[in-house]
Amino acid sequence: MRGPRHLRPRTAVALAVVAAAAIVLPAAVKAASASPPAAPVAVPAILTATTATPAATSATPAATPTPPPGSGAALFAANCSGCHGDHGQGLIGPSQQADAFPSLVAGMVRRGGISMPAFPQLSTAQVDAVATYVATQIADPAARLGTVAEGGAEFRLYCSGCHSSVGSGGALTQGRNAPDLRAFPAAEALAAMIYGRGNMPVFAGTTFGVRQQASVALYVEVLQAPPSPGGWGLGYIGPVPEGLAAFLALCLLLLVTVWLAWGKGQVKPEAERGLQRPAPGWPAGIALLAAIAGAAGFVAFFVVGNNTQKLGGTMALAFLGLGFALAYWGRDLTPDDVEVGSYPLPPRYAASGGSAADPPAALGDELAGSAAVLTRRRFLTTILIAAAAVVGLSQLALAASLGPKSRGLFSTAWRPGVRLVTADGAPITRDALQGGGIIVAFPEGHLEAADSQVALLHLTGVTPQPGRESWSPEGFFAYSRVCTHAGCAVAQYEDEAQRLLCPCHQSSFDLLDGARPVGGPAGRPLPQLPLAIDASGYLVAQRDFTGPIGPGFWNLYA
């Protein structure tokens, strides 16, 4: 007879079936009538609309509640024009030419920015009215063409080097940080792009227009609440917290192993044997029920949608339930049978109990016998080994097909007279960068040429290196953007310190001294591209770099 505390197996199965049915049936019914699962990624509605149809947005601005006492224009005149100018052209505050998206403006008005106060006295309707007014009447129509996708590309080219691709910031030199963008209203990013701030250069002018600015602001808005369908984002600071979490998980597993191995496999003294009270069976039963419920829930959630937390949670419940039941069964419901066996030691070793120098005889004799047969045909054996080696080595020739020969580490796509263009392919004139800033430039017609990318800067009052006096016409300097240490894009530009930094291993290059390495593991300066200005005012290359760009290799100086 089983003890009363034990769950009868048939009862357990019956309960499980009922539970499973209770979970699966409604889900199946729901699934049969369900619409296709919703898009899993929550994105602010305004952004979805603007990304899908930018033209439509510009034609029909977001629904405007009828402005009660004052219209958007009146509210603007009363609250905004004092700083931003009568036409939003910029006065004390920045120009509003790129403020093409009402949600961004509204967020700024409600929360305020670093230098702009919040406007709590305005009602929601009033904020919406003034935001719509700014977006539709003041912003440059070109800015409305901006999209999240375009903003993402610009962000990864110009911003993520310091602020990280997730917008969570980053470390710079001298104890300064690039701030976490998720702590600011997205429109604040516009002011920072227009004015620059501290170490941050200006992102404005002929090559970084209102459309780019508006796009980046839109993308920053997305990053304010980063889409995280996978669960908790662990701070959005890259793989470091992930590694930490993996070790914490392992420590949790170690607790499980301690539980599993507690007091097991020991030969106990006579007095301690047979004293254990029998463990109850119900924990295993409950765990199995939970496992069945988990599995049923997983199937149900799988049918109705694609929610990672629900799927993961139910799947985990299924495995944990089953796992606990089995482990508990083996640990607590199975008698501790301990056995004593013997290690497979060489017989003579075991007998003498000591010296390892005694090899077992039998196998050795056998091998010696076979070897004697072989060595009788010594000549043939030698040939056999040689032939096998030659056949094997000859197959290594296949490896040569692996790599097309390198185009050469010694040259890039720059040729005399080739124009410098932006990542969008727009040629760069001598009007660019007059307010400071930086452009990532490529040779015209070679936008995919990774080794040819240069950082173009307009540095006034910097003396060129000896021998390079003619390389920087009108103060335009172009340096290879491929780090001479390990090849990452040297994407951080500290405006105050006039340094380029590599976000991968923190090499820093002094722009006031020919991009000489002044910190970090890089050993060679960034190569400088000799520039000229052609008759039409476009920036062009005088010729290719004078030496290899990027990381070092043994015959670099050849």
Partner 1 sequence: MPEPRLQRSLTHSFRLPRDRYRRVAAWLDNTTGGSGLIRQELRHIFPDDWSFFFGEIALYCFIILVITGVYMCLFFKASAAPTVYLGSYQPLHGVSVSEAYNSVLRLSFDTRAGLVIRQVHHWAALVFAAALIFHLFRMYFTGAYRRPRRLNWLLGLSMLMLVVINGVFGYSLPDDLLSGTGLRIAFSITQSVPLIGPNLASLLFGGDFPSNSLIARIYPVHILLVPGAIAGLLGAHLGLLWIQRHTQYRGRRRTDLTVVGTPLVPAYALRTTGFLLLLTGLLTILGGFFQINPVWLYGPYHPWDSTSFAQPDWYTGWLEGAVRMMPAWDIHIGGLLIPGLFWPAAVLPGIVAGFLFSWPWLDALFTRDDALHNVLETPRDRPGRTAVGAGVLTFLFMLLVAGGDDVFAAVFHWNLPTLLSVMEGLTLGLPFVVGLLVYAIFRRRHVTAPEEVTP
If the CB atoms of residues 71 and 506 are measured against partner 1, the closer one turns out to be 506
Least Å distance, CB 73 to partner 1, is 32
Least Å distance, CB 453 to partner 1, is 5
Among 1, 275, 373, 558, binds partner 1 (CB under 8 A): 558
If the CB atoms of residues 5 and 505 are measured against partner 1, the closer one turns out to be 505
Write each residue from 168 to 207 as x if it is in contact with partner 1 (CB under 8 A), else as -, in one continuous string: xxxxxxxx-xx-----------------------------
Q: Is 317 in the site for partner 1 (CB under 8 A)?
A: yes
Among 78, 246, 371, 380, binds partner 1 (CB under 8 A): 246
How many residues make up the chain in this entry? Answer: 558
Find the part of the chain contacting partner 1 (CB under 8 A) among 115-123, 371-379, 517-525, 528-536. Answer: 517-525
Find the part of the chain contacting partner 1 (CB under 8 A) among 111-119, 216-224, 275-283, 456-464. Answer: 216-224
Tokens of 40: 């899993």
CA–CA gap between residue 64 and residue 141 (Å, rounded)? 18
CA–CA gap between residue 141 and residue 100 (Å, rounded)? 8
Find the part of the chain contacting partner 1 (CB under 8 A) among 118-126, 137-145, 377-385, 447-455. Answer: 447-455
Q: Is 525 in the site for partner 1 (CB under 8 A)?
A: no
Q: Which of residues 417-436 bind partner 1 (CB under 8 A)?
A: 423
Tokens 């539980």 found at: 259
Q: Is 411 in the site for partner 1 (CB under 8 A)?
A: no
If the CB atoms of residues 122 and 500 are measured against partner 1, the closer one turns out to be 500
Question: Taking phi first (over 0 means left), then psi (-120 to 50 degrees means alpha), and beta for anything else, what does residue 169 get?
Answer: left
Tokens of 249: 């998980």
* CA–centroid distance for 557 within its chain: 36
CA–CA gap between residue 534 and residue 430 (Å, rounded)? 10
Q: Is 292 in the site for partner 1 (CB under 8 A)?
A: no
If the CB atoms of residues 323 and 537 are measured against partner 1, the closer one turns out to be 323
CA–CA gap between residue 420 and residue 440 (Å, rounded)? 9
Residue 461's nearest CA partner among 498, 429, 502, 504 is: 498
If the CB atoms of residues 107 and 321 are measured against partner 1, the closer one turns out to be 321
Among 136, 492, 515, 541, binds partner 1 (CB under 8 A): 492
Among 24, 311, 426, 512, binds partner 1 (CB under 8 A): 311
CA–CA gap between residue 259 and residue 331 (Å, rounded)? 9
Write each residue from 332 to 361 as x if it is in contact with partner 1 (CB under 8 A), else as -, in one continuous string: --xxxxxxxxxxxx---xx--xxxx-----
Least Å distance, CB 145 to partner 1, is 13
Angle at the Cα of 21 (from 17 to 26), degrees rounded to 5? Answer: 170
Least Å distance, CB 293 to partner 1, is 14
Angle at the Cα of 190 (from 187 to 191), degrees rounded to 5? Answer: 100
What is the DSSP annotation of 126-147? HHHHHHHHIIIIIS-GGGGG--
CA–CA gap between residue 151 and residue 278 (Å, rounded)? 66
Q: Name the strands in the sheet holding 476-480, side by side, starting at the edge strand that comes first in the sequence.
A: 420-421, 438-443, 454-458, 476-480, 528-529
Q: Which of residues 20-79 bind partner 1 (CB under 8 A)?
A: 37, 39-41, 43, 47-48, 51-52
Q: Is 519 in the site for partner 1 (CB under 8 A)?
A: yes
Least Å distance, CB 405 to partner 1, is 7
Q: Is 9 in the site for partner 1 (CB under 8 A)?
A: no
Residue 286's nearest CA partner among 4, 20, 7, 5 is: 7
CA–CA gap between residue 213 and residue 219 (Å, rounded)? 10
- Given a contact cutoff of 8 angstroms between Cβ atoms, the answer to whether 190 and 94 are in contact is yes
Q: Which of residues 252-281 bind partner 1 (CB under 8 A)?
A: 252-254, 256-258, 260-262, 264-269
Find the part of the chain contacting partner 1 (CB under 8 A) among 68-76, 367-375, 450-458, 536-544. Answer: 450-458
